[in-house]
Amino acid sequence: MGAKLLGARVKRMEDPALLTGRGQYVDDLKLSGMLHAAFVRSPFAHARIRKLDATRARVLPGVRAVITVADLPADLRARRIPMLVPNPAIKQPWTQLPLADDEACYAGEPVAVVVADSRYLAEDAASLLDIDYEPLPAACDCRDALKPGAPVAHAGSPDNVGAKFTVQYGNVDAAFAGAAHVVRRSLWCHRGGSHSMEGRGVVARYDAMDDRLTLWSATQSPHIIRRNLTELLGLDEEQVRVIAPPDVGGGFGPKTIFYSEEAIVGLAARRLGRPVKWIEDRREHFLSATQERDQYWDVEIALDAGGKIRGVRGSMIHDTGAFLPWGIISPYISATTVPGPYVVPNFKLEVTVALTNKVATTPVRGAGRPQAVFAMERLMDAAARETGIDAAELRARNLIPTDQMPYKVGLVFRDGKPVVYDSGDYPKCQQIALTHGKYDSFAERQRTARAQGRYLGIGIGNYVEGTGLGPFEGATVRIGPSGKIFVFTGGAPQGQGHQTTLAQLCADKFGVGIEDVQVVTGDTGKIANGVGTFASRIAVNAGSSVHLASLAVRQKALKVASHILEAAEEDLDIEGGRIVVRGVPNMSLGLAEVAKAVAGMPGFALPGGIEPGLEATEYFSPPQSAYCNGSHCVEVEVDIETGHVQILNYAVAHDCGTLINPLVVDGQVQGAVAHGVGNALFEWMKYDADAQPVTTNLAEYLLPTAPESPRIVLEHVISPSPLNPIGVKGAGEGGTIPAAAAIIAAVENALSPFGIEISDAPITPARIVELIAAARTPKQ
């Protein structure tokens, strides 16, 4: 059996439909009798809701229902959405109610829903609700929110401490005492929203005959949605089916969690007996889709005289917003990502998670790691300046060498397992990035440019990322009497090409092309258990499950065929979907025939005591996370008069183990880097002092466009993971993780004649000009 398709740059099966406008996204669904929902949302970051009168809205022609908290069943009204990953460190486990009751805790929190004949009418009616809001003092800046006497995000709560935890190993105090060099930095790292081009969306249909609620949601996790719906609506699993439509227009994290809109639209459909559709518009995405936001780091690094790291310690404040739907996953990942690819013998980070009156923060591509890498790499650059050791050389001295792999860091990861880097060649990756980044010749380039009055800079970012998060993502591989091969998995895609990549893993086992394998994703009705597509976990989990299930089906097919053909299994091959006896070409059996043979003929026993059906289900469960890694080297030019930053060269060395489809992986890295460019230079979700969102459209919140996005020079290193049968690691986020660190390091390097330190991400032209103006006269 050849592995022809594994590692092949196969063109995607998804593309022809998408290119000809035949995609099937949630808003493309048109069901008979369908109604349209518009949510009424709190305009205030923090307010008491004193009175809500929907009379004027209800009588508008075309309005079918207005549902407020008073219209919810009593047990739903008070039921908060279950926290996805609880943690004992969480002191105030706030999660959201399906509709705000008497208190709104962020601008955009859903207060009521209007269901009408069209979205246009629903919005007309939404403006007719008479609601008395009494604004309350709002917790805004997460540092201020932790000060004594600060306004509380939730009225009546003692303070704004959502959680507190410490991540540590070794003895940092000893490490710092007597260290030759200690460097300290205070940093602000901000990230923004997902801004997938398609927002969220839900279509719900209740079928009274089946007593079944079917919910299509542009979600990354249909099974999580179903779990929550059954709990909130008091239904059982058979009464709820959740489907991620065949096409979802991007996810990047925030489409993973369960949202109250899903419960309310489901409820509305059951109550009205007609399908209900809700499509998130861009303003709603700004207000009520989760995002990442501010972290403030106060960290220091201790090194010995030779530049070897002795320890890293400090504290971090994380803004979680008003709720913790996903617990403390982002700050926890941040904390455990800091040591990265470096030997850090002693480590301690104290984290405080602050509640504020803003929409909740949950992972956005990178999931807390970009912030950690920013902190660590800023420390490394500061240490390089302090010790006089070149930035690349200092890193090289501290990168974990290959003879120490697998490397036990000393931390426990989000999966409850110790952080053990399974494979990877960190020094090689840095070297490759530096080579493509033309690092060695940079000093000369910089000198020449300075003589012309131009300011060039170069920056490096290294990272290690835990991927392939468990507990599982299963796959059922089934060949029916038609002979067609089906793969069912919970791993719903939002652009990652699962239809193609998972087909590649399966098709090889049967000697067919990917067009002979149909991958069906994201439907709770098609596979019993699932988790979701996030945390760069599908290649490892679903990929391995598909691989193992395909092998099992192949094995079974061979076993059945050996009975039917009366040949030994060792003498059989599968080519082009047919089982052949080696050397005897006219003795063969199609997969369809094998499937028919085990479909059951009344009264006849199955051959060899085999179980019915040509199918297998595998729920691959990784023993721990698979750690991928990479290095970025970025060269920029800064216009010191305007503060404009131009990226001149962007080099990436990327190691995600085995590549299922290099075309797809390249695309993931390129796209992920663009997110990082956004984080470094453009994306800033701003709030005013009353926690009111200020940037609420795409002209105010800036996403990188084509002229701002670099062409990356990408080289893959392949260190297969020993932790799964195909040796893959996750690939979706690596491009984002060190990007802001590397870009901002380059900007700081460009401005080194001014002695400027950059401690912010994003860095804007206005801030660069301000820093230059404040600096002393340029020094050589």
Partner 1 sequence: MADTRSITVTVNGQPYTRTVETRLTLADFLRHELGLTGTHLGCEHGVCGACTVLVEGRTARSCLMLAVQAAGKSIVTVEGIAPSETELHPLQQAFQDNHGLQCGFCTPGMLTTLLEFLGDNPDPTEAEVREAISGNLCRCTGYQGIVDAALDAAKRMRK
Partner 2 sequence: MKPPPFRYHDPRTLAETIDLLARLENAKLLAGGQSLMPMLNFRYAQPDNVIDLGRVEDLAYIREEGSGLRIGAMTRQRDIEFSDLVRKRCPLMADAIRFVGHRQTRNRGTIGGSLSHLDPAAELPLVCATVDATVHVAGKKGERAIPMAKFPQGYMTPAIEADEMVIAVSVPASGPGYGFVEFARRHGDFAIVAAAATLEIANGTVKRASIALGGVGPAPVRCADAEKLLAGQKPTPDALRAAAETCRKIDAMEDVHAPASYRQHLATVMTRRALEAAVKNAGA
Contacts with partner 2, residue ranges (CB under 8 A): 119-120, 123-124, 127, 281-283, 641-644, 682, 686, 694-695, 697, 699-700, 702, 704-705, 707-708, 765-766, 769-770, 773
Which x/- pattern over 720-749 shows residues binding partner 1 (rule: CB under 8 A)? Answer: ---------------x--------------
Nearer to partner 1, 282 or 385 (CB): 282
Which pairing describes strands 130-135 and 47-53: parallel, antiparallel, or unpaired?
Answer: antiparallel
Nearer to partner 1, 282 or 450 (CB): 282
Q: With contact defined as beta carbons under 8 Å apart, do 468 and 537 qualify? A: yes
Q: Which of 143, 282, 563, 596 binds partner 1 (CB under 8 A)?
A: 282
- How many CB atoms lie under 10 A from the CB of residue 592? 17
Nearer to partner 1, 11 or 582 (CB): 11
Nearer to partner 2, 25 or 682 (CB): 682
Q: How far apart are CA 762 and CA 747, in angstroms?
A: 11
We find the least distance from the C-beta atom of residue 671 to partner 1, in angstroms, to be: 4
Nearer to partner 1, 15 or 102 (CB): 15
Position 182 contacts partner 1 (CB under 8 A): no
Q: Which letter, b or e, does each residue of 117-147 get, where b requires 16 or more Cβ atoms within 10 Å of its Cβ?
A: eebebbbbbbebbebebeebebbbbbeebbe
We find the least distance from the C-beta atom of residue 707 to partner 1, in angstroms, to be: 5
Q: Which does 18 bind (CB under 5 to 8 A by kind): partner 1, partner 2, none?
A: partner 1
Q: Which pairs from 226-232 meet CB under 8 Å and 24+ separation? A: 226/524, 227/82, 227/258, 228/81, 228/82, 228/258, 228/262, 228/263, 229/258, 229/262, 229/263, 229/266, 231/82, 232/76, 232/79, 232/81, 232/98, 232/263
Nearer to partner 1, 431 or 494 (CB): 494
Nearer to partner 1, 336 or 489 (CB): 489
Residue 569 DSSP class: G
Subset of 91-120 contacting partner 1 (CB under 8 A):
120
Q: Enter the tokens of residue 241.
A: 């089916």
Beta bridge pairs of residue 652: 632, 714
Beta bridge pairs of residue 634: 459, 650
Which x/- pattern over 215-254 shows residues binding partner 1 (rule: CB under 8 A)? Answer: --------------------------------xxxx-x--
Which of the stretches 343-351, 355-363, 495-503, 530-538 binds partner 1 when contact is defined by CB under 8 A? 495-503
Nearer to partner 1, 33 or 576 (CB): 33
Q: Which does 766 bind (CB under 5 to 8 A by kind): partner 1, partner 2, none?
A: partner 2
We find the least distance from the C-beta atom of residue 642 to partner 2, in angstroms, to be: 5
- How many CB atoms lie under 10 A from the CB of residue 452? 7
We find the least distance from the C-beta atom of residue 264 to partner 2, in angstroms, to be: 20
Position 198 contacts partner 1 (CB under 8 A): yes
- Helix residue ranges per DSSP H, 573-661: 591-597
Which x/- pattern over 759-778 shows residues binding partner 1 (rule: CB under 8 A)? Answer: --------------------
Q: Radius of gyration over alpha carbons of the chain, in Å?
A: 28
Which x/- pattern over 644-683 shows residues binding partner 1 (rule: CB under 8 A)? Answer: -------------------xx-xx--xxxxxx--------
> Which among 761, 606, 644 has a CA at the least distance from the CA of 185?
761
Position 637 contacts partner 1 (CB under 8 A): no
Report the half-sphere exposure of 450 (CA within 13 A, side-chain side): 16
Number of residues binding to partner 1, judged by CB under 8 A = 54
Q: How far apart are CA 166 and CA 565, in angstroms?
A: 64
Position 284 contacts partner 1 (CB under 8 A): no
Give the angle 192-195-199 at the CA atoms, nearest 5°: 135
Position 618 contacts partner 1 (CB under 8 A): no
Q: How far apart are CA 394 and CA 377, in angstroms?
A: 11
Q: How far is CA 153 from CA 246, 295, 355, 572, 601, in A?
A: 39, 18, 6, 68, 66
Q: Enter the tokens of residue 303.
A: 């090194």
Position 30 contacts partner 1 (CB under 8 A): yes
Residues that bind partner 1 (CB under 8 A): 11-12, 14-16, 18-23, 25, 27-28, 30, 120, 194-199, 247-250, 252, 281-282, 494-497, 663-664, 666-667, 670-675, 697-699, 703, 705-707, 709, 711-712, 735
